[in-house]
Amino acid sequence: MRRPVVAANWKMNKTVPEALDLTRDLLAQIQAYTAVERVICPAFVALTTVAPLAAAAGVGLGAQNMHWEKSGAYTGEVSPLMLAGLCQYVIVGHSERRQYFGETDETVNKKARAALLNGLTPIICVGEVLAENEAGRTAEVVIRQTRAAYAGLSAEEALKTIVAYEPVWAIGTGKAATPAGANAVIGLHIRGALSDLYSSTVADALRVQYGGSVTAANAADLMAQPDIDGALVGGASLKPAEFGAIVRAASARA
Ligand code: PGA
Protein backbone atom coordinates (compact mmCIF):
# COMPACT_ATOMS: atom_id res chain seq x y z
CA MET A 1 0.00 0.00 0.00
CA ARG A 2 1.51 3.32 -1.08
CA ARG A 3 0.93 6.19 1.33
CA PRO A 4 -0.61 9.14 -0.53
CA VAL A 5 1.61 12.21 -0.72
CA VAL A 6 0.38 15.70 -1.52
CA ALA A 7 2.79 18.59 -1.91
CA ALA A 8 2.15 22.32 -2.13
CA ASN A 9 4.42 24.06 -4.63
CA TRP A 10 4.07 27.75 -3.92
CA LYS A 11 6.49 28.69 -6.71
CA MET A 12 7.69 32.33 -6.56
CA ASN A 13 4.85 33.55 -4.38
CA LYS A 14 4.53 35.03 -0.87
CA THR A 15 6.85 37.21 1.17
CA VAL A 16 8.14 35.74 4.42
CA PRO A 17 5.36 37.27 6.58
CA GLU A 18 2.78 36.14 4.01
CA ALA A 19 4.29 32.66 3.97
CA LEU A 20 3.89 32.46 7.73
CA ASP A 21 0.21 33.40 7.50
CA LEU A 22 -0.42 31.01 4.63
CA THR A 23 1.30 28.17 6.47
CA ARG A 24 -0.93 28.69 9.51
CA ASP A 25 -4.03 28.71 7.32
CA LEU A 26 -2.96 25.65 5.32
CA LEU A 27 -2.03 23.69 8.43
CA ALA A 28 -5.45 24.36 9.93
CA GLN A 29 -6.95 22.74 6.82
CA ILE A 30 -4.62 19.76 6.43
CA GLN A 31 -3.43 18.90 9.92
CA ALA A 32 -6.13 16.30 10.55
CA TYR A 33 -5.38 14.13 7.51
CA THR A 34 -2.49 12.21 8.98
CA ALA A 35 -2.90 9.26 6.61
CA VAL A 36 -1.61 11.55 3.87
CA GLU A 37 2.02 12.62 3.73
CA ARG A 38 1.69 16.40 3.41
CA VAL A 39 4.49 18.67 2.23
CA ILE A 40 4.73 22.45 1.91
CA CYS A 41 7.31 23.91 -0.48
CA PRO A 42 7.72 27.67 0.05
CA ALA A 43 10.47 29.85 -1.39
CA PHE A 44 13.96 29.33 0.09
CA VAL A 45 13.77 32.54 2.11
CA ALA A 46 10.68 31.35 4.00
CA LEU A 47 11.95 27.86 4.90
CA THR A 48 13.50 28.82 8.25
CA THR A 49 10.41 30.72 9.34
CA VAL A 50 7.93 28.05 8.30
CA ALA A 51 9.95 25.04 9.53
CA PRO A 52 8.93 25.01 13.22
CA LEU A 53 5.23 25.32 12.40
CA ALA A 54 5.32 22.53 9.85
CA ALA A 55 7.30 20.29 12.21
CA ALA A 56 4.89 20.90 15.09
CA ALA A 57 1.99 19.93 12.81
CA GLY A 58 3.68 16.78 11.51
CA VAL A 59 3.78 18.25 8.02
CA GLY A 60 6.84 17.99 5.79
CA LEU A 61 8.76 20.89 4.35
CA GLY A 62 10.43 21.04 0.95
CA ALA A 63 12.52 23.33 -1.22
CA GLN A 64 11.60 23.98 -4.84
CA ASN A 65 15.10 23.51 -6.25
CA MET A 66 18.74 23.25 -5.22
CA HIS A 67 22.25 22.91 -6.65
CA TRP A 68 23.95 19.50 -6.60
CA GLU A 69 27.32 20.65 -5.20
CA LYS A 70 27.90 20.82 -1.45
CA SER A 71 29.43 24.30 -1.57
CA GLY A 72 31.52 26.50 -3.81
CA ALA A 73 31.59 29.42 -6.18
CA TYR A 74 28.01 29.18 -7.46
CA THR A 75 26.60 32.63 -6.82
CA GLY A 76 22.93 32.60 -6.03
CA GLU A 77 22.62 28.84 -5.58
CA VAL A 78 21.53 26.82 -2.54
CA SER A 79 23.22 23.54 -1.69
CA PRO A 80 21.86 20.24 -0.37
CA LEU A 81 23.92 20.73 2.80
CA MET A 82 22.09 23.98 3.46
CA LEU A 83 18.73 22.29 3.02
CA ALA A 84 19.46 19.14 5.01
CA GLY A 85 18.27 19.75 8.55
CA LEU A 86 16.04 22.59 7.40
CA CYS A 87 13.64 20.62 5.23
CA GLN A 88 13.06 17.01 4.20
CA TYR A 89 12.07 17.22 0.52
CA VAL A 90 13.23 19.00 -2.60
CA ILE A 91 11.45 19.35 -5.94
CA VAL A 92 13.86 18.63 -8.78
CA GLY A 93 13.35 19.02 -12.52
CA HIS A 94 10.17 21.04 -12.35
CA SER A 95 9.17 21.97 -15.89
CA GLU A 96 9.52 25.67 -15.08
CA ARG A 97 13.16 25.01 -14.17
CA ARG A 98 13.62 22.98 -17.36
CA GLN A 99 11.90 25.64 -19.46
CA TYR A 100 13.28 28.89 -18.01
CA PHE A 101 16.47 27.99 -16.15
CA GLY A 102 18.27 25.49 -18.32
CA GLU A 103 17.55 22.38 -16.24
CA THR A 104 18.44 19.27 -18.24
CA ASP A 105 17.93 15.54 -17.77
CA GLU A 106 21.55 15.43 -16.63
CA THR A 107 21.23 18.15 -13.98
CA VAL A 108 17.99 16.59 -12.74
CA ASN A 109 19.92 13.36 -12.20
CA LYS A 110 22.73 15.17 -10.38
CA LYS A 111 20.23 16.92 -8.13
CA ALA A 112 18.30 13.71 -7.39
CA ARG A 113 21.53 11.97 -6.40
CA ALA A 114 22.71 14.91 -4.29
CA ALA A 115 19.35 15.05 -2.52
CA LEU A 116 19.54 11.37 -1.59
CA LEU A 117 23.15 11.65 -0.44
CA ASN A 118 22.07 14.40 1.92
CA GLY A 119 19.00 12.66 3.29
CA LEU A 120 16.48 14.70 1.31
CA THR A 121 13.57 13.13 -0.55
CA PRO A 122 13.61 14.31 -4.15
CA ILE A 123 10.27 14.90 -5.84
CA ILE A 124 11.36 14.27 -9.42
CA CYS A 125 9.21 15.98 -12.05
CA VAL A 126 8.69 14.59 -15.53
CA GLY A 127 6.21 15.51 -18.23
CA GLU A 128 5.79 16.32 -21.88
CA VAL A 129 5.15 19.76 -23.39
CA LEU A 130 2.08 20.43 -25.54
CA ALA A 131 3.84 19.92 -28.89
CA GLU A 132 5.20 16.57 -27.72
CA ASN A 133 1.78 15.56 -26.48
CA GLU A 134 0.14 16.53 -29.76
CA ALA A 135 2.81 14.70 -31.74
CA GLY A 136 2.08 11.49 -29.82
CA ARG A 137 5.48 11.59 -28.13
CA THR A 138 4.34 11.53 -24.48
CA ALA A 139 5.58 8.00 -23.80
CA GLU A 140 8.97 8.62 -25.37
CA VAL A 141 9.50 11.85 -23.40
CA VAL A 142 8.46 10.62 -19.96
CA ILE A 143 10.41 7.38 -20.40
CA ARG A 144 13.53 9.32 -21.41
CA GLN A 145 13.17 11.75 -18.50
CA THR A 146 12.52 8.95 -16.01
CA ARG A 147 15.47 6.83 -17.16
CA ALA A 148 17.79 9.85 -17.09
CA ALA A 149 16.66 10.99 -13.64
CA TYR A 150 17.35 7.56 -12.12
CA ALA A 151 20.68 6.90 -13.83
CA GLY A 152 23.13 5.53 -11.29
CA LEU A 153 20.58 5.26 -8.48
CA SER A 154 20.29 1.91 -6.72
CA ALA A 155 16.90 0.32 -6.15
CA GLU A 156 17.21 1.19 -2.47
CA GLU A 157 17.79 4.85 -3.38
CA ALA A 158 15.02 4.87 -5.98
CA LEU A 159 12.56 3.70 -3.33
CA LYS A 160 13.29 6.87 -1.35
CA THR A 161 12.18 9.13 -4.20
CA ILE A 162 8.82 10.43 -5.34
CA VAL A 163 7.94 11.07 -8.98
CA ALA A 164 5.59 13.82 -10.10
CA TYR A 165 4.04 13.38 -13.52
CA GLU A 166 3.29 16.90 -14.66
CA PRO A 167 2.21 17.28 -18.27
CA VAL A 168 3.52 20.77 -19.01
CA TRP A 169 0.39 21.76 -20.96
CA ALA A 170 -1.66 21.15 -17.81
CA ILE A 171 0.40 23.32 -15.47
CA GLY A 172 -1.28 26.58 -14.52
CA THR A 173 -3.63 26.35 -17.49
CA GLY A 174 -6.78 25.12 -15.80
CA LYS A 175 -6.71 22.16 -18.20
CA ALA A 176 -5.80 19.13 -16.12
CA ALA A 177 -5.09 15.82 -17.79
CA THR A 178 -8.01 13.43 -17.67
CA PRO A 179 -7.75 11.09 -14.68
CA ALA A 180 -7.63 8.04 -16.96
CA GLY A 181 -5.06 9.68 -19.24
CA ALA A 182 -2.74 10.63 -16.37
CA ASN A 183 -3.18 7.19 -14.83
CA ALA A 184 -2.18 5.53 -18.11
CA VAL A 185 0.98 7.60 -18.52
CA ILE A 186 1.99 6.87 -14.93
CA GLY A 187 1.06 3.20 -14.95
CA LEU A 188 2.34 2.26 -18.38
CA HIS A 189 5.23 4.57 -19.07
CA ILE A 190 6.62 5.89 -15.77
CA ARG A 191 6.16 2.68 -13.77
CA GLY A 192 7.08 0.80 -16.93
CA ALA A 193 10.40 2.63 -17.16
CA LEU A 194 11.05 2.07 -13.45
CA SER A 195 10.22 -1.59 -13.85
CA ASP A 196 12.74 -1.88 -16.70
CA LEU A 197 15.37 -0.03 -14.68
CA TYR A 198 14.77 -1.94 -11.43
CA SER A 199 11.95 -4.43 -11.04
CA SER A 200 8.18 -4.51 -10.99
CA THR A 201 8.39 -4.61 -7.19
CA VAL A 202 10.25 -1.29 -7.11
CA ALA A 203 7.97 0.22 -9.77
CA ASP A 204 4.92 -0.80 -7.75
CA ALA A 205 6.29 0.50 -4.47
CA LEU A 206 7.38 3.94 -5.69
CA ARG A 207 4.94 6.78 -5.29
CA VAL A 208 3.94 8.84 -8.31
CA GLN A 209 2.01 12.08 -7.99
CA TYR A 210 0.02 13.83 -10.66
CA GLY A 211 0.47 17.60 -11.09
CA GLY A 212 -1.09 20.17 -13.39
CA SER A 213 -4.22 22.18 -12.56
CA VAL A 214 -5.24 19.97 -9.65
CA THR A 215 -8.22 21.60 -7.91
CA ALA A 216 -10.78 20.75 -5.25
CA ALA A 217 -13.12 19.89 -8.12
CA ASN A 218 -10.96 17.30 -9.91
CA ALA A 219 -8.88 15.91 -7.03
CA ALA A 220 -11.25 13.10 -6.06
CA ASP A 221 -11.39 11.71 -9.60
CA LEU A 222 -7.62 11.94 -9.98
CA MET A 223 -6.97 10.31 -6.59
CA ALA A 224 -9.39 7.48 -7.38
CA GLN A 225 -7.02 6.27 -10.12
CA PRO A 226 -4.99 3.23 -9.12
CA ASP A 227 -1.59 4.58 -10.20
CA ILE A 228 -1.94 8.17 -8.91
CA ASP A 229 -0.59 8.35 -5.36
CA GLY A 230 -1.13 12.01 -4.66
CA ALA A 231 -0.63 15.42 -6.16
CA LEU A 232 1.89 18.19 -6.68
CA VAL A 233 -0.25 21.30 -6.44
CA GLY A 234 0.67 24.78 -7.62
CA GLY A 235 -2.04 27.45 -7.83
CA ALA A 236 -4.53 25.66 -5.58
CA SER A 237 -1.92 25.28 -2.83
CA LEU A 238 -2.12 29.03 -2.22
CA LYS A 239 -5.80 28.65 -1.27
CA PRO A 240 -6.15 26.96 2.12
CA ALA A 241 -9.68 25.59 1.81
CA GLU A 242 -9.03 24.31 -1.70
CA PHE A 243 -5.74 22.68 -0.74
CA GLY A 244 -7.50 21.17 2.26
CA ALA A 245 -10.07 19.61 -0.06
CA ILE A 246 -7.30 18.13 -2.23
CA VAL A 247 -5.59 16.57 0.80
CA ARG A 248 -8.97 15.24 1.97
CA ALA A 249 -9.50 13.64 -1.47
CA ALA A 250 -6.08 11.98 -1.16
CA SER A 251 -6.95 10.69 2.30
CA ALA A 252 -9.76 8.68 0.76
CA ARG A 253 -7.05 6.58 -0.93
CA ALA A 254 -5.31 5.74 2.33
P1 PGA B 1 -0.61 24.10 -11.04
O2 PGA B 1 0.96 23.83 -10.92
O3 PGA B 1 -1.27 23.27 -9.98
O4 PGA B 1 -0.75 25.59 -10.78
O5 PGA B 1 -1.03 23.71 -12.41
C6 PGA B 1 1.44 22.54 -10.65
C7 PGA B 1 2.94 22.56 -10.61
O8 PGA B 1 3.57 23.28 -11.38
O9 PGA B 1 3.54 21.84 -9.79
pLDDT of residue 195: 98
Could you read off the pLDDT of 189-208 as tens digits, one per residue? 999 999 999 999 999 999 99
> pLDDT for 133-144, tens place per residue?
999 999 999 999
Confidence band of 84 (pLDDT split at 50, 70, 90): very high
- pLDDT cut 70: percent of the chain above it: 100
Question: What is the pLDDT confidence band of residue 243, given thresholds at 50, 70 and 90?
Answer: very high
Q: What is the pLDDT of residue 175?
A: 95
Taking CA atoms only, the protein residue closest to ligand 1 atom 3 is 234
Residue 128 pLDDT class (50, 70, 90 cuts):
very high
Catalytic residue annotation: 94, 166
Question: Does this model's pTM top 0.95?
Answer: yes
Ligand 1: residues within 6 Å at CB? Answer: 9, 166, 171-172, 211-214, 232-236
Per-residue model confidence (pLDDT) at position 66: 98
The residue whose CB lies within 8 Å of the most ligand 1 atoms, and thus the one to mutate among 101, 162, 165, 166, is 166
Does the structure show a pLDDT above 90 at 1? no
Per residue, the 3-state secondary structure of the chain, as one string, reads CCCCEEEEECCCCCCHHHHHHHHHHHHHHHCCCCCCEEEEECCHHHHHHHHHHHHHCCCEEEECCCCCCCCCCCCCCCCHHHHECCECEEEECCHHHHHHCCCCHHHHHHHHHHHHHCCCEEEEEECCCHHHHHCCCHHHHHHHHHHHHCCCCCHHHHCCCEEEECCHHHCCCCCCCCHHHHHHHHHHHHHHHHHHHCCHHHHHHCEEEEECCCCCCCHHHHHCCCCCCEEEECHHHHCHHHHHHHHHHHHCCC
Nearest residue by C-alpha to atom 7 in ligand 1? 234
pLDDT tens for each residue of 168-178: 999 999 999 99
Instruction: Tell me the pLDDT band of 115, cut-offs 50, 70 and 90.
Output: very high
Does the pLDDT value for residue 120 go beyond 90?
A: yes
